[in-house]
A and B are shown apart, each in its own frame.
Chain A
Amino acid sequence: MRLVNARPSKGSALALATLPFLVVGTLYVMASMDRLAVNPDDKLLPSLGQMGAAFHTLAVVPDRRSGTLILWADTTASLVRLFSGVGIAATVALTLGIALGFIPRVKATLGAFVAVVSVVPPLAVLPVLFIALGLGETAKIALIALGVGPVMIRDVAQRVAEIPAELVVKAQTLGGNTWTMILRLVLPQVMPRLIVAVRLALGPAWLFLIAAEAIASTEGLGYRIFLVRRYLSMDVILPYVVWITVLAVGTDWLLARLSAAAFPWAHPREAP
């Protein structure tokens, strides 16, 4: 059978999917055991036990100086920044994207401007943000919003422009005006796409978050990683990376479920 036609069964697909995780995990454990056998104080590849202990301490033992549970304080701080930034970007993307995609005069006025702004590298603007907005939360949230917003605006505008002209004309023949068509035709049609845009934006958003936290912060997942880097604390860094991955995967999964539940018409194959 040709490779393109050989489809794995459900069970073997699951086994195949687990395989790369197992391989990487096993390789890591073997390499770690090798190094620790030579030098028990080696910090580069800590054992699973060492990482578990470090993670456990951060999660349940209050910090001696601040009295907080560091993992949860870091997680809360990071997620608030992340969701504020992405939330602001999504709100702006929805309003501006709909205006750009639906109203020719807005497109004529702002289309080229948004296209230019969206190619400005956000990290290059970071110093400007820190100078203008200070080192507090505002600058970090602004970086995330600026980093992912323009692409989302263009994505929403694109989707609006893809709505078949037939539907827009039909809505007008049924008595729709610009505003009511935005409410009843455009908004529902772009919402699933906005969720896709948010899911795609979360990758870069984490990047901007960790960059901002690494540079100026007193708590946060990115801050912690870069703080303990000075002590080569791989037993903290690696679990934190896994934890960030878990948060990212969980968010993505939740958004996918949300879209399927709220907009079943946009997910015909997943519907019961």
Chain B
Amino acid sequence: MSRLVVKDLAKSYGETRVLERVSVTAAPGEFLSLVGASGCGKSTFLKIVLGQETATAGTLTVDGRPVPPEPTTDRGIVYQRYSVFPHLTVRDNLVLVADLKHGGPLARVFGPKRRTARDEADALLERVGLRHAADLYPASLSGGMQQRLAIAQTLLGRPKILLLDEPFGALDPGIRVEMHALLLEIWAEHRMTVLMVTHDIGEAFKLGTRVLVFDKVRRDPQFPGAYGATITYDLPLDRKTRPAAPTDAGVIPGPVLQRSA
């Protein structure tokens, strides 16, 4: 749960301006949906927040501190693809989090610590409906199962800010609804700040407490790279400012389906 403040952020790749004058403040626990035309710079924005790319201009702070120019455990990410480690089984993908955080130079926890990590992994797998697949490799999982694993893994890292780049873009509509339920449940429980890029407007409104629209305000037909995109609409969805409101039954469904996707 952290406050993210972006001020006058700009990003260019060489001559091409991708983003300009992007300013936004995300209050702790807010769920921001980011929408916009394909190629307008939403992923680039997310990468800058993540520290995977550096901004050309502007400032970025989390809880008042400038964001370091490389990824840290503060910010978690779920991509549309390549989000889990193909060489580790489903369970080991989760145990890896403990290995990397507490395993020292061997990157491996041992003994009781390992048992705890495994138990924690199995509990979380149960929760996201992947307990039966614990010993499989990700390649043998469906797209929906892989994304559930990716979300579970990111969650174990306990990020203050959760970034999602079209996480459900490659999934079937039915699976997507399940994933929405899972994500909302997790968000309600952990109350982290969420930034989610999606190309599905319905999804943006369903999940977000706020919808940000990225678009170019100026265009040069002779040279499309002359101007970048910025946030053109910032729509707060007041009805959902309190996550996990028990009355909001339409948004927060009951226990997550345990069906294998």
For A265, list chain B residues within 8 Å (CB).
86-88, 137, 139
Min CB distance A96 to B, Å, is 21
- Whether A166 lies near B105 (C-beta < 8 A) is no
A173:B86 contact, CB within 8 angstroms: no
Cross-chain contact of B100 among A169, A175, A268 (Cβ < 8 A): A175
Inter-chain contact A173/B72, CB cutoff 8 Å: yes
B87, A189: Cβ atoms under 8 Å? Answer: yes
Proximity bits, A248-272, B CB within 8 Å = 1, else 0: 0000000000000001111010000
Interface size on A, residues (CB 8 A): 24
Q: Does B50 contact A (CB under 8 A)?
A: yes
Taking CB atoms, residues of chain A closer than 8 Å to B82 are: 164, 166-167
A180 interfacial contact with B, CB 8 Å: yes
Shortest Cβ distance from residue B114 to the other chain A in the assembled complex, whole angstroms: 14
Residues of B contacting A172 in the complex (Cβ-Cβ under 8 angstroms): 70-72
The stretch from B7-15, B30-38, B153-161 touching chain A is: B153-161
Chain A window 134-170, contacts with chain B (Cβ cutoff 8 Å), 1 for yes, 0 for no: 0000000000000000000000000000001111011
Partner of A184, one of B99, B137, B154, B156: B99
Q: How far is B96's CA from A183's CA once the two chains are assembled, in angstroms? A: 12
Given A175-B73, A183-B107, A268-B139, A263:B97 Cβ within 8 A = no
A176 in the interface (beta carbon within 8 A):
yes
Which B residues touch A266, using CB under 8 A?
A: 87
Known pairs A184-B100, A265-B87, A266-B87; A174 contacts B153 (CB<8 A): yes
A179 at the A/B interface (Cβ < 8 Å)? yes
Q: Is B247 an interface residue (CB 8 A)?
A: no
| Residue B140 lies at the interface, judged by CB distance under 8 Å to chain A | yes
Query: How many Cβ-Cβ contacts under 8 Å join chain A to chain B?
Result: 81
Interface presence of B52 (CB below 8 A): yes
Contacts of B72 in A (CB 8 A): 172-173
Q: Which residues of chain A come closer than 8 Å to B83, judged between CB atoms?
A: 166, 170
Contact residues, B69-125 vs A (CB, 8 A): 70-73, 75-77, 79, 81-83, 85-88, 96-97, 99-101, 103, 105-107
Instruction: Give the distance to chain B from A155, nearest Cβ to Cβ, in Å.
Output: 18
CA distance A174 to B97 in the complex (A): 6
Q: In the complex the two chains form, what is the Cα distance from A28 to B154 in whole Å?
A: 65
Q: Is A129 interfacial (CB 8 A cutoff)?
A: no
Cβ of A58 under 8 Å from chain B:
no
Which residues of A from 153 to 211 have beta carbons under 8 Å from B?
A: 164-167, 169-176, 179-180, 183-185, 188-189
Q: What separation, in Å, do the CA atoms of A172 and B163 have in the docked complex?
A: 14
Q: Which chain A residues border B85 with CB–CB below 8 Å? A: 167, 170-171, 185
Chain A residues numbered 44-88 whose CB sits less than 8 Å from any CB in chain B: none
A128 to chain B, nearest CB (A): 40
Report the separation of the CA atoms of residues A184 and B103 in the bound assembly, to the nearest whole angstrom: 11
Q: Contacts A166-B81, A167-B82; is A174 near B50 (CB within 8 Å)? A: no
- Whether the pair A176, B100 counts as a contact (CB closer than 8 A) is yes
In the complex, are the beta carbons of B87 and A169 less than 8 A apart? Answer: no
With A170-B83, A171-B85 given, can you name 17 additional A-B contacts, CB distance below 8 Å? A166-B81, A166-B82, A171-B100, A172-B71, A173-B73, A173-B157, A174-B73, A174-B76, A175-B100, A176-B100, A179-B105, A179-B107, A180-B105, A184-B99, A265-B137, A265-B139, A268-B140
Binding site for A on B (CB under 8 A): 50, 52, 70-73, 75-77, 79, 81-83, 85-88, 96-97, 99-101, 103, 105-107, 137, 139-140, 153-154, 156-157, 159
Q: Which residues of A contact B (CB under 8 A)?
A: 164-167, 169-176, 179-180, 183-185, 188-189, 263-266, 268
Q: List 12 A-B contacts (CB under 8 A).
A: A164-B81, A166-B82, A169-B50, A169-B52, A173-B71, A173-B72, A173-B75, A173-B154, A174-B96, A180-B100, A263-B87, A265-B88
